[in-house]
């Protein structure tokens, strides 16, 4: 978990936190959105959503 709540981070801090989680996610190389979303929810904020664009 980050030192400060995800919701209180600046946009730049959020991007850095998300990058760190995705880099450590085993599914990041295969791009499984569900797995990436689950990892982000677990480590940063349970309100995070990952949407395909």
- pTM equals 0.75
Banded model confidence at residue 17, pLDDT cuts 50, 70, 90: very high
- The mean of the pLDDT values for the chain is 85
Q: Give mean pLDDT, residues 10-26.
A: 89
As a whole number of angstroms, the distance between CA 10 and CA 32 comes to: 27
Structure tokens at 51: 């949407």
């Amino acid at each position: 978990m980050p030192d400060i709540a995800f919701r209180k981070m600046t946009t730049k801090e959020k991007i850095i936190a998300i990058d760190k989680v995705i880099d450590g996610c085993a599914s990041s190389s295969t791009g499984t959105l569900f797995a990436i979303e689950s990892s982000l929810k677990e480590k940063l904020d349970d309100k995070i959503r990952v949407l395909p664009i």
